[in-house]
């Protein structure tokens, strides 16, 4: 490949900063994605610049959207592995999403219990007089809680 054609090929690629700007993801996050194998630069220059293809914009946007839906990077990697094997990742996504729904329902129940406990605590503490803080007591409302 001639120097001119190599320059033209690199001109079609994005440097990591350009990928960051195109996706709204920090360069440090992109480097981390590369470190854990979520994205792979199309090429690296002799001076160690990373170059990405335009399809990496789609990939990074997929990672962002997946994270916004509550998928962690390990789960996203599993989804991408299915895709890279030529399989539809949708069954994997459904399985992970079902598990997340179960976890969310459990967390909601726990948060509802906590909300009730705090509300009960507030009602109980309303009848007590406020006291000045001291070396042994900062706020009696919290200090009297047994943990």
Q: pLDDT, tens digit, for every residue of 63-87?
A: 999 999 999 999 999 999 999 999 9
Q: Say what the pLDDT of residue 3 is.
A: 44
Domain 1-66 has CATH 3.30.70.141: no
Mean pLDDT of all residues in 35-52 = 87
The answer to whether the beta carbons of residues 52 and 41 sit under 8 Å apart is yes
User: What is the residue extent of each domain of the chain?
Assistant: 1-66, 88-147
Confidence band, pLDDT 50/70/90 cuts, at residue 10: low
Mean pLDDT of all residues in 54-66 = 96
Q: Say what the pLDDT of residue 37 is.
A: 92
Full strand arrangement of the beta sheet holding 50-52:
14-15, 50-52, 43-44
């Amino acid at each position: 490949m001639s120097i001119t054609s190599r320059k033209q090929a690199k001109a079609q690629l994005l440097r990591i900063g350009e990928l960051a700007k195109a996706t709204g993801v920090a360069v440090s996050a992109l480097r981390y994605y590369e470190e854990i194998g979520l994205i792979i630069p199309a090429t690296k220059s002799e001076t160690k610049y990373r170059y990405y293809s335009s399809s990496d914009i789609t990939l990074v946007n997929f990672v962002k959207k997946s994270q916004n839906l509550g998928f962690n990077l390990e789960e996203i990697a599993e989804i991408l592995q299915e895709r890279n094997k030529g399989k539809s990742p949708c069954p994997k996504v459904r399985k992970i999403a079902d598990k997340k729904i179960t976890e969310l329902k459990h967390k909601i129940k726990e948060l509802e219990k906590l909300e009730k406990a705090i509300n009960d605590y507030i009602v109980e503490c309303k009848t007590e007089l406020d006291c000045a803080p001291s070396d042994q007591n900062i706020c009696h409302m919290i200090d009297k809680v047994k943990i």
